Structure 1
Amino acid sequence: MTELDVLVVGPTSENQIVQLDELPRREPHTVFARSSSTALGGTSAGKALHLVDRGVATTLLTTQGDDAAGQGLVDTLRGCGVDVRAVMTEGPTERHLNLMSARGERVSIYLQQAGAIGDEEMRRARATAREALGHAQAVFLDLADLSRSLIPEVTALAREVWVDVHDYDGEQAFHRPFVEAADVVLMNGDRITHPSTYLRALIAEGKTLAICTLGAHGAIAVGPDGSFARVEAPQVTVVDPNGAGDAFAAGVMSHALQVGGAAELRGDALWEALEVGASQAARAVTSSQLSPLLERAARTSG
């Protein structure tokens, strides 16, 4: 265990990645893929991998399907240095089909949702969360039924709660308990009309830090003192844009923990945290997998 220690709660999945020149039009037609591959995915797996890449000891509490694919994903993550605590679900592993355009646009199709979690497994999950929260500097909750079920434990025990509400529009009911539980809110700008206004509103409501990623246009944030910061996306050759947002979040979190927590991200410190996030996102998009750690593990096993 290092001085910096984080609990991440949320999904791991098996992803089928299909690279296209552009996303399909909304009409019947034929599309030829540039390439396709099967890869480890899941927003929480991505955050955990990039936190480990940043030197943060990370426990990932995630669901595992009752099939060989689920065990394989867990084994791969553990091989990369992630402390995985798996909650067994009823049914096969969560699977996604990600259609990716040459510009980094994505349509994610759920081929298989995570199965139900039985009562005994949920009791184990709560016990695992309580144990991890006893020493974790912060917890990252991702949108998932497992995470939502653990909000009471997290709000009671966590020192600092980070949530990623992804393409939240400010109104969706499923996201609200996550926002209410959060000290730090991250989101992307896909569906929010006025992101800077919404971020300022979150700080006015008492949140410590609010961040919105803007894809190729970088990211913006409002700090605990109301300071505003913006960072541009690094100019790199994109190999695979999957996981960029999770890498960015992990970079910002790791820097925040190094300086004493999100409450310390004021003025220049806020901009520095966004710079670290952007640098980590660049590591994700220049890798052929969710994280360079997966590439390294593949070379070692090969």
Structure 2
Amino acid sequence: MGQGTDVLVLGGAGVDTVVQVPSLPLPYADSYMIEHGIETRAGQTGDFVALGLHALGLRTHHLDLLGDDPEGDLVRALHRDRGIALTVVPGPAGTKRAVNLVGPDGRRLSLYDVSRSRPEDRFPESTVRELARGSRHVHVAITHPCAPALPVLRETGVPLSTDLHDWDGENPYHEPFALAADVVFLSTASLADPERTMRDIARRGRAQVVVATAGAEGAHLLADDELIRVPAVTPPAPVVDSNGAGDAFAAGFLFGRLSGEPLRRCALYGAVAGAHACTVPATRTAPLGRDALLARVAEPEPVIR
């Protein structure tokens, strides 16, 4: 099969209910009056990566389990309206969902409903193999049931990336993803020693590149045993919500990588896309487009060293 897709995104489809709260942590009270409303919209990590890649001009295909429920209809409509190819495997437990509490400073606390995944759920191997072989790259979300698909993906020889999110470096659930991917993204939020974890991933697994994002402090890039500091990029507008910033970073980085750019340039693309995402309310889906990204990158920014 020819490569008709630039990136296959595996997993991470779902629906979030977004609540803007007066503070985080939220002190206990019998009730709160939510002035900005409570909104439910399609979009979790895989959706956001797919949207970001598509906005940057990459041919993107998304594969995941969805339920025959209103939440699944929201996810289907999001992809249909944005023109992103979506292959759906029936999910008997229903569509994945979460509640996101967003503070005034843009910080987020997510409550994931893990009851929507059953241990016996699987992607058909033939579907995974066919879609992967028709792609230049596969980005794998850490949602169930992506882990059982990793051996099939590795057999295809297609390069893989994954995002471990706020992994603490020890939780065994994340290890299959960390060790199978060629490009590994993660957050420093739960890491006592980010460099040690990054080097451990590279030493034990297949990763050629490990990127640890650190929010307003920028990011760290490990490649060829060299640790590179990636400065934060100034957001183009006030920060309102950090939800999806890591997904935007991954999309920007992968856009650079698939365009043949040097790693430092890829990291800059990711930083610019991530900074933009922080200026977009969680109730909207407005990823940075290719022209805007390239224009923003052309502006003076701190040198990556």
Aligned-pair CA distance for 1:115? 4.1
8 Å CA contact 1:284–1:290 kept in 2: the answer is no
Aligned-pair CA distance for 1:169? 1.0
Q: Does 1:270 align with 2:263?
A: yes
8 Å CA contact 1:99–1:108 kept in 2: the answer is yes
* Aligned partner (choices 44, 47, 63) of residue 46 of structure 2: 44
| Other-structure match for 1:210 | 210
Structure 1 gaps of 5+ residues are: 260-264, 295-302
Cα distance in 2 between the residues matched to 1:39 and 1:241: 16
Aligned-pair CA distance for 1:293? 6.0
| Other-structure match for 1:195 | 194
Per the normalisation by structure 2, the TM-score is 0.84
| Other-structure match for 2:61 | 59
* Aligned partner (choices 82, 88, 101) of residue 80 of structure 1: 82
| Other-structure match for 2:23 | 22
Aligned-pair CA distance for 1:68? 2.8
SS at match of 2:40: strand
Q: Write out per-residue CA displacement over residues 52-99 of structure 1, whole angstroms, 9 at most, x where no aligned residue.
A: 011111111112111132123112212212111111111332221110
| Other-structure match for 1:298 | none
8 Å CA contact 2:22–2:104 kept in 1: the answer is yes
Cα distance in 2 between the residues matched to 1:151 and 1:209: 18
Rate the CA distance shift 1:46–1:39 in 2: closer, same or farther, 3 A.
Answer: same
Q: Does 1:224 align with 2:224?
A: yes
Cα distance in 2 between the residues matched to 1:117 and 1:207: 27
8 Å CA contact 1:19–1:101 kept in 2: the answer is yes
| Other-structure match for 1:251 | 252
Cα distance in 2 between the residues matched to 1:293 and 1:90: 31
| Other-structure match for 1:292 | 286
Deviates more, 1:143-152 or 1:71-80: 71-80
SS at match of 2:138: strand
| Other-structure match for 1:147 | 146
Match runs of 1:99-178 below 5 Å: 99-111=101-113, 113-116=115-118, 122=122, 125-178=124-177
Aligned-pair CA distance for 1:203? 3.1
| Other-structure match for 2:96 | 94
- Percent identity of equivalent pairs: 29
Aligned-pair CA distance for 1:106? 1.5
Structure 2 gaps of 5+ residues are: 289-305
8 Å CA contact 1:208–1:223 kept in 2: the answer is yes
Cα distance in 1 between the residues matched to 2:241 and 2:58: 24
8 Å CA contact 1:139–1:158 kept in 2: the answer is no
* Bigger helix share: 1
8 Å CA contact 1:98–1:108 kept in 2: the answer is yes
Per the normalisation by structure 1, the TM-score is 0.85
8 Å CA contact 2:52–2:248 kept in 1: the answer is yes
Code of the aligned partner of 1:67? D
SS at match of 2:101: strand
Cα distance in 2 between the residues matched to 1:216 and 1:147: 30
Q: Write out per-residue CA displacement over residues 168-203 of structure 1, whole angstroms, 9 at most, x where no aligned residue.
A: 111101111111211111100111111123223333
Cα distance in 2 between the residues matched to 1:290 and 1:161: 28
Code of the aligned partner of 1:285? C
Cα distance in 1 between the residues matched to 2:67 and 2:114: 10
Q: Write out per-residue CA displacement over residues 132-179 of structure 1, whole angstroms, 9 at most, x where no aligned residue.
A: 111211111111222112111111114211111111111101111111
Cα distance in 2 between the residues matched to 1:215 and 1:232: 7
8 Å CA contact 1:24–1:31 kept in 2: the answer is no
CA RMSD, Structure 1 to Structure 2 (Å)? 2.5
Aligned-pair CA distance for 1:290? 5.3
Cα distance in 1 between the residues matched to 2:240 and 2:193: 30
Cα distance in 1 between the residues matched to 2:254 and 2:103: 29
8 Å CA contact 1:13–1:40 kept in 2: the answer is yes
SS at match of 1:107: strand
